[in-house]
Amino acid sequence: MLLSVLVVAISLALFWMAAFTLWWQMHAWRTPETLAATSFDRPDSDVGLSFSLLLPARHEQAVLEHTIERLLESTHSNYEIIVVVGHDDPETAEVAERAARNDPLRVRVITDTHETKNKPKALNTALPHCRGDIVGVFDAEDQVHPELLAHVDHAFTTTGADVVQGGVQLINFHSSWYSLRNCLEYFFWFRSRLHLHAQKGFIPLGGNTVFVRTAVLREADGWDADCLAEDCDLGVRLSSAGKKVVVAYDSGMVTREETPDTLMSLLKQRTRWNQGFLQVYRKRDWRQLPTRRQRMLARYTLMTPFLQAYSGVIIPVNVVIALFLDVPVGAAIVTFLPLVTAMVTFVFEVVGLHDFGKQYGLRVRFTHYLKLIIGGPFYQVLLAGAAVRAVWREQRGRNEWELTSHVGAHLTETREDASR
């Protein structure tokens, strides 16, 4: 009897959790009108705002030049690029200086002299030097669409937003089974879920293609140099302070990135994010959110990695209990509820992969769908591993950056190893 009650309680909790996550994940596709509203409006006015684009680069000489060239192709006429390099990284600095010499009006180089380096410190170093109305952040390996700035400008002007988050998309889904799932995660996150967060007034921002009004950013004292998820933290702090965030996703205009090149680096990246989420949760900035619903959403979103890990383990256990132990039929049926939501999620992922292929003109083969389905449980294990690892590291007080390296798989030409 006790077992039955326990199993039913756990199952119902898991069911609601999965159902909510699914509900939010599918936000953009709720109605055709919602879907249409997720993309950028077409800019119809002249240039209104000026931009300072921050480009922190570390041991990324291989990809940096191409990224700067792409940024300089922008159709917008009023922007500057600030490349932030480390004082201990002459190779990257050389590439940056060369670019600055070629276009001194639009490219500048700032040197970060911190002893231990990380991305938020680099960004904070550059912040006082920004002259534009808007600060934008990109990573050194990003492929940025030339028309993006004009659209972001329009979004700021027409909506009066304080923050605009553009889409980021991992593209190299064919590289491995986990990159397939990783790409799809990004797809659902930027295509759909983030829009819900923007609408609800609580949003963990992404790491790049994020644009903030310079004054707002300075008022918020820039990025938190001690947080492993400084992007998420910034979003949480700004939305808690009531700043308006607008998210726009346009498959033609997303910033393209690549997945981590090994399973281990994916695990490390995920550990860092989870640990960062945990830190943001513990900083309690989200408690200032005005409504209870927003606080619940914040609590839930920041806890998601851990709940996900937990449910990945518990669902199979539950089903085994239902099938092999002696519980009443009614209770046994309830234990299948989380499985039902998991199946629905699975199906939507398959459709999402199809849509992803369509949106980006990529050919998704049957084997990819197969990989997606078979890889599902293993990816759950990976996520669970990262969650456990994050908790463990946080307990031990280890919060240095574990860097993710990039091989440029998302670029058309192959590049040598570079690391972020």
Partner 1 sequence: MTTILPTPEETTPTGAPGGAPPGALTAPDSPTTLVERPAGAATTPGADRPRADVRVRVLPRPVIRFRSSRPDLLLCLGLLTVILAVQGWNITHFPTLSDDEGTYLAQAWAVQQGEGLAHYTYWYDHPPLGWIQIAGLTYLPSVIAPESMTVATMRFAMLAVSAACAVLLYVLARRLFLPRWSAALAMALFGLSPLSVVLQREIFLDNLAVMWMLLAFCLAASPSRHLWHHFAAGLVGAVSVLTKETMLVVLPALLVTMWRHSHRDTRKFAVTGAITACVLIGLSYPLYALLNNELFPGPGHVSLIDGITYQMGREGSGFILDAGSGSHGVLQSWLYYDRVLPLGGVAGALLLLSTLRWSVTARALAGPALAVAILTVVAMRPSGYLPAMYVIQALPFLALVLAGAAASVVHAVLHRRLPARGSSPAPRTAFGRILRDRAVRRTPAPGVAPPGAPDAARSRALTHLPRRALVGVLALAAAVLLTPRWIDGNRDALTLDANAPYRAAAGWLQEEIADPASTRVLVDDALWLDLVHDGFTPGTGAIWFYKADLDPAVTKTMPRGWRDIDYVVSSPTVRRDAVDLPNVKAALQHSTPVAVFGRGEDRIEIRRITGGTTGGAR
* Residues making contact with partner 1 (CB under 8 A): 23, 26, 29-33, 35-37, 39-42, 143, 145, 147, 250-254, 256, 322-323, 329, 332-333, 336, 340, 343-344, 347-348, 350-351, 354-355, 358-362
- CA-CA distance, 178 to 140, in Å (whole number)? 23
- CA-CA distance, 292 to 276, in Å (whole number)? 23
173 versus 286: smaller Cβ distance to partner 1: 173
Supply the minimum distance, in Å, between the C-beta of residue 16 and partner 1. Answer: 15
- CA-CA distance, 386 to 275, in Å (whole number)? 9
343 versus 370: smaller Cβ distance to partner 1: 343
Do the beta carbons of residue 364 and residue 342 sit within 8 Å? no
Residue of 256, 228, 251 whose CA lies nearest to 141: 256
DSSP string, 267-283: HHHHHHHHHHHHHHHHH
2 versus 36: smaller Cβ distance to partner 1: 36
CB contact set of 37 (below 8 Å; sequence gap of 6+): 195
Beta strands, E only, 24-121: 51-56, 79-86, 107-112
Residue in the block written with tokens 């326990």: 6
Supply the minimum distance, in Å, between the C-beta of residue 343 and partner 1. Answer: 6
- Establish how many alpha carbons lie within 13 A of residue 59's alpha carbon, considering only the half-sphere containing its beta carbon: 13
280 versus 332: smaller Cβ distance to partner 1: 332
238 versus 337: smaller Cβ distance to partner 1: 337
Residue 152 identity (one-letter amino acid)? V
Supply the minimum distance, in Å, between the C-beta of residue 122 and partner 1. Answer: 26
Residue of 374, 355, 407, 349 whose CA lies nearest to 177: 374
CB contact set of 310 (below 8 Å; sequence gap of 6+): 384
Do the beta carbons of residue 124 and residue 135 sit within 8 Å? no
Supply the minimum distance, in Å, between the C-beta of residue 183 and partner 1. Answer: 15
Supply the minimum distance, in Å, between the C-beta of residue 173 and partner 1. Answer: 14
Supply the minimum distance, in Å, between the C-beta of residue 324 and partner 1. Answer: 11
CB contact set of 73 (below 8 Å; sequence gap of 6+): 146
Do the beta carbons of residue 170 and residue 182 sit within 8 Å? yes
Q: C-alpha distances in angstroms, 327 versus 9, 13, 321, 324, 383?
A: 13, 18, 8, 9, 31
- CA-CA distance, 224 to 283, in Å (whole number)? 11
101 versus 354: smaller Cβ distance to partner 1: 354
26 versus 130: smaller Cβ distance to partner 1: 26
Supply the minimum distance, in Å, between the C-beta of residue 228 and partner 1. Answer: 29
115 versus 413: smaller Cβ distance to partner 1: 413
128 versus 361: smaller Cβ distance to partner 1: 361
Supply the minimum distance, in Å, between the C-beta of residue 259 and partner 1. Answer: 17
Supply the minimum distance, in Å, between the C-beta of residue 206 and partner 1. Answer: 17
Residue of 122, 135, 131, 127 whose CA lies nearest to 96: 122
Residue 154 identity (one-letter amino acid)? H
Helix (H, G, I), strand (E, B) or coil at 319: helix
Do the beta carbons of residue 84 and residue 122 sit within 8 Å? yes
Supply the minimum distance, in Å, between the C-beta of residue 89 and partner 1. Answer: 28
93 versus 342: smaller Cβ distance to partner 1: 342
